[in-house]
């Protein structure tokens, strides 16, 4: 794992392209919170209400359009990126970095798994969103015999199903509506349990990690990336609560706590790979994209209030990364043989 060189390359990107916002004051936390409908997004402590809030965050026409343009470069891939050797000024840079992160995670998972089973790899994407990761991996890897996408949002699932058909992958990709905290699968079913930027919304991390263990075969691999709670000096509970209020975060764990939670439910060889420098670049590119859309007069008619709200929030997110509010990276583990 190239943690040291990777961080160096990310810093070099920031210096080369002057990706800083030091002169941009963060918005007042209370002002940001006021923009949020607490009836939808508030931290309720109720699982059903929490899941409805997650749907509201992603599965509306306005949000699908926003994420497609700002994170997906007009594609269905709405994940944060891994920015090694990506020219951030090239067309489609964000989408390329997102796909590179998907590839990195799957390559790491298969290295940990070892030789693919003779019948091929069975893979499940927990919180699969638009299915972009699973579809890309099936296109690239004939070793994947069957990919299953489990996701809560109906509109995203319809898009994933349609794209699978368009790509001729319907016989290898199955899209299932449901939650990763109550997986509708038999035990010991998958060689690889995978999740990209989805577990931040888990109502209970330990329940989620336990379900992933249950459905993974003996000797199988678990890998996920996500935003996690940082431990920067001076980070307040109020600041973390503001993030939770806008992002449906109920169980906010640090990397160390995520590793411990995985170990407590039975995962072995649990490790965290710190890629926080990359989330900073992702936030910066998202902010630049939002500003570009607004400066161009919003030609695709994305919800204007949504764009303005994210412009303020993203500026704050970058400063929060610098202050240690967030971590981002990969947790990987194995199931005992």
Other CB atoms within a 10 A radius of the CB of residue 13 amount to 21
- Rounded to whole angstroms, the Cα distance separating 133 from 189 reads 20
Assess if residue 56 is contained within a domain: no
pLDDT band, very low/low/confident/very high, at 291 (cuts 50, 70, 90): confident
Assess if residue 20 is contained within a domain: no
What is the pLDDT, as a whole number, of residue 29? 34
Other CB atoms within a 10 A radius of the CB of residue 3 amount to 12
pLDDT band, very low/low/confident/very high, at 252 (cuts 50, 70, 90): confident
Q: Give the mean pLDDT of 73-92.
A: 81
pLDDT band, very low/low/confident/very high, at 66 (cuts 50, 70, 90): low
pLDDT band, very low/low/confident/very high, at 14 (cuts 50, 70, 90): very low
Q: Which residue has the tokens 């209030």?
A: 305
Q: Is the predicted pLDDT of residue 74 greater than 70, yes or no?
A: no
Of 90-99, 114-123, 144-153, 172-181, the range with the lowest mean pLDDT is 90-99
**Shortest CA distance to 32 belongs to which of 310, 248, 318, 326?**
310
pLDDT per residue over 101-151, tens digit each?
A: 999 999 999 999 998 899 999 999 999 998 999 999 999 999 999 999 999
User: Which CATH number covers residue 198?
Assistant: 3.40.50.150
3-state secondary structure at position 30: helix
Assess if residue 93 is contained within a domain: yes
What is the pLDDT, as a whole number, of residue 61? 60
pLDDT per residue over 16-62, tens digit each?
A: 333 433 333 333 333 333 344 444 444 556 677 767 766 666 655 65
- Rounded to whole angstroms, the Cα distance separating 186 from 215 reads 6
Assess if residue 252 is contained within a domain: yes
Assess if residue 240 is contained within a domain: yes
Length of the chain, in residues: 337
Assess if residue 11 is contained within a domain: no
What is the pLDDT, as a whole number, of residue 44? 52
pLDDT band, very low/low/confident/very high, at 165 (cuts 50, 70, 90): very high
Domain membership of residue 210 as a residue range: 65-335
- Rounded to whole angstroms, the Cα distance separating 151 from 177 reads 5
Of 67-81, 227-241, 296-310, the range with the lowest mean pLDDT is 67-81
C-alpha distances (whole Å) from 15 to each of 10, 19, 87, 317 are 9, 7, 13, 19
Q: Is residue 200 within 8 Å of residue 226, measured between CB atoms? A: yes
Tokens of 284: 């910066």
Q: Is the predicted pLDDT of residue 328 greater than 70, yes or no?
A: yes
**Shortest CA distance to 319 belongs to which of 34, 23, 11, 80?**
23
Tokens of 228: 């996690």
**Shortest CA distance to 159 belongs to which of 122, 129, 125, 117?**
129
Q: Is residue 224 within 8 Å of residue 195, measured between CB atoms? A: yes
Tokens of 280: 């900073």
| Average of per-residue pLDDT values in the chain | 81
Assess if residue 158 is contained within a domain: yes
Provide Rg for the chain, Cα atoms: 19
Q: Are strands 268-274 and 326-334 parallel, antiparallel or unpaired?
A: antiparallel
- Rounded to whole angstroms, the Cα distance separating 20 from 287 reads 11
User: How many domains does the chain divide into?
Assistant: 1
Q: Which residue has the tokens 């989330």?
A: 279
* Helices 132-140/154-166 angle, 10° precision: 20
pLDDT per residue over 292-308, tens digit each?
A: 888 888 877 777 877 88
Assess if residue 52 is contained within a domain: no
Comparing 268 with 44, the larger pLDDT belongs to 268
Q: Are strands 173-177 and 216-229 parallel, antiparallel or unpaired?
A: unpaired
Comparing 243 with 206, the larger pLDDT belongs to 206
Q: Is the predicted pLDDT of residue 70 greater than 80, yes or no?
A: no
Q: Give the mean pLDDT of 275-281.
A: 94
């Amino acid at each position: 794992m190239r943690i040291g060189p990777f961080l160096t390359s990310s810093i070099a990107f920031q210096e080369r392209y002057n990706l800083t916002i030091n002169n941009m004051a963060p918005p007042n936390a209370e002002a940001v919170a006021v923009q949020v409908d607490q009836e939808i997004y508030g931290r309720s402590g109720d699982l059903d209400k929490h899941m409805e809030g997650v749907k509201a965050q992603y599965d509306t026409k306005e949000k699908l359009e926003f994420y497609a343009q700002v994170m997906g470069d007009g594609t269905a891939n709405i994940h944060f990126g891994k920015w090694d050797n990506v020219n951030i000024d090239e067309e489609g840079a964000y989408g390329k970095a997102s796909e590179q992160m998907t590839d990195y995670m799957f390559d790491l998972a298969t290295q940990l798994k070892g030789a693919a089973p003779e019948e091929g790899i069975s893979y499940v994407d927990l919180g699969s969103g638009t299915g972009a990761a699973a579809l890309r991996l099936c296109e690239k890897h004939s070793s994947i015999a069957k990919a299953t996408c489990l996701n809560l949002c109906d509109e995203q699932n319809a898009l994933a199903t349609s794209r699978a058909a368009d790509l001729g992958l319907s016989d290898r990709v199955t899209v299932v509506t449901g939650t990763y905290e109550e997986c509708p699968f038999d035990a010991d079913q998958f060689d690889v349990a995978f999740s990209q930027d989805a577990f931040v919304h888990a109502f209970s991390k330990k329940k989620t990690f336990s379900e992933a263990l249950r459905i993974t075969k003996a000797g199988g691999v678990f890998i996920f990336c996500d935003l996690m709670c940082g431990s920067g000096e001076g980070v307040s509970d109020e600041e973390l609560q503001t993030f939770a209020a806008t992002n449906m975060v109920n169980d906010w764990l640090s990397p160390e706590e995520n590793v411990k939670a995985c170990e407590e439910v039975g995962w072995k060889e649990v490790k965290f790979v710190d890629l926080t420098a990359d989330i900073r670049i992702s936030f910066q590119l998202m902010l630049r994209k939002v500003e570009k859309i607004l400066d161009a007069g919003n030609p695709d008619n994305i919800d204007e209030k949504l764009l303005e709200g994210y412009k303020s929030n993203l500026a704050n997110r970058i400063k929060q990364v610098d202050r240690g509010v967030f971590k981002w990276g990969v947790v990987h583990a194995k199931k005992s043989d």
